[in-house]
Amino acid sequence: MVGETRILHVLPGLGAAGCETFVRNLVLGLRDEPQLTQEIAVSTLPEQFYEPELQAAGIVIHRTDELGGVRSVFKHTRALTRLLKEKKHAGAPFDVVHCHMDYLNAFNLFAAFRAGVPRRICHSHIAGSQAQNPSIITKFYRAVMRIGIRLFATDCAACSPEAAASMFWKRRAAVIPNGIDVARFAAVRGDADQRRTMRRALGLDDIQPVALIVAGMREQKNPLFAVDIVAEIWKRLPRFVLIWCGGGSELPQIKARIAQYGIEEHVLLLGSRRDIPAIMCAADCLILPSKWEGFGIVLVEAQSAGLPCFASEHTPRSANMGACVYLPIDSVDCWANAVTDGFLHGFNARVDDKILRNYDIKTMCDCYKTLLETRKGDIA
């Protein structure tokens, strides 16, 4: 890179979710690069999970407009355009706008185009369809957004080959792996003292079968199906407990479903947590029954911590470090049988640490710097 490069990342918010974790890890991983200045624009008005940490690190966070309907999308686009033009007129223009809103990136890219930003990156964080049978309106919307992305993006990037193919079809894209602090998660692998301490803190004994979910409570993560799975496992293993880290809009429905099954004492709803590695140390396996995923970064975190993982068949295989089992999302019994069998007969979790190193934050940052150093449009 020659001279200073000013980057604005545009995303919905900074909650504890996959895309947001990617941006958090990337921004903090590159903060000591002398030629890079990174700022963030979010469309969520309330302060969210990662914001205090990022602000403490000196990262500037801008706000556009809360998304919640067609009109709000245009208000967000106008606010983003205004921000970019104001920075330009103030003598501190952004050289790169990096968009992380999937199909809504078309609006962000258009705003960056109007403001004269020379480098406009569209990043895909999804793979596959967000609906099993999308309506004609949904198909039309995606087709129009793809046209906008093709017109206004100078570069395409994705978290996995599957995510690249899903959004960009045959257009070339740079695959930037979702990086994590591998050492932080690997440090708890096999730590008996840490496991005992965290289990005591959660009111669990040493031999209870414990599964873990680290996911937001929203449609993508298939939360009600997850509760159905837990209820079936409980029938087979009466002392079984699920730990659930994460919050979201479907929390009331989840609580109602848990109460319907009468398994309140067997589901620990912990909300968003900052001690995920320690909680993973207390668990025996991880469950991720998502309807769709761009990558599934929590699978890499869990495998780093030594956990076997049960993931839906709609999760990209690129997140498999050797300890993932993929299951269909149309059979509760299939999931309950697979997890129960693991508890009764032992989990086959052999993590390939050589592959795991490819998903370290440093590797992710190196891939990103390569993208920035590539001549504009060469990857697109």
Q: Does 235 lie in the same domain as 108?
A: no
Q: By the 8 A CB rule, do 64 and 70 touch?
A: no
Q: Does 118 lie in the same domain as 93?
A: yes
pLDDT at 352: 85
**Number of structural domains, the chain?**
2
Residue 378 falls within a domain, yes or no? no
Sign of the torsion formed by the C-alpha atoms of 190, 192, 193 and 194: positive
CATH number, domain with residue 314: 3.40.50.2000
The DSSP bridge pattern shows strands 210-214 and 174-175 to be: unpaired
Q: Does 163 lie in the same domain as 277?
A: no
276: Cβ–Cβ under 8 A, 6 or more apart, which residues? Answer: 214, 245, 301
Please identify which residue in the block is written with the tokens 């890079």: 36
Q: Does 343 lie in the same domain as 206?
A: yes
Per-residue pLDDT of the chain (380 residues; tens, 9 = 90+): 556 899 999 999 998 888 999 999 999 999 999 999 999 999 998 899 999 999 999 999 999 999 988 999 999 999 999 999 999 999 999 999 999 999 999 999 999 999 999 999 999 998 765 545 678 888 899 999 999 999 999 999 999 898 998 899 778 899 998 999 999 999 999 999 999 999 999 999 999 999 999 999 999 999 999 999 999 999 999 999 999 999 999 999 999 999 999 999 999 999 999 999 999 999 999 999 999 998 999 999 999 999 999 999 999 998 999 999 999 999 999 999 999 999 999 998 788 888 888 899 999 999 999 999 986 555 44
Nearest to 339 by CA among 323, 321, 359, 325: 325
Instruction: Report residue 290: phi and psi, to 5°.
Output: -65, 150
Residue 46 burial (10 A CB sphere; 0-12, 13-18, 19+): exposed
Of all helices (H) and strands (E), which one includes residue 38? strand 36-42
Residue 379 falls within a domain, yes or no? no
DSSP secondary structure code for residue 170 in this structure:
T
Which residues constitute the domain of residue 126? 5-179+360-373
pLDDT at 370: 95
| N-terminal to C-terminal alpha carbon distance within the chain | 19
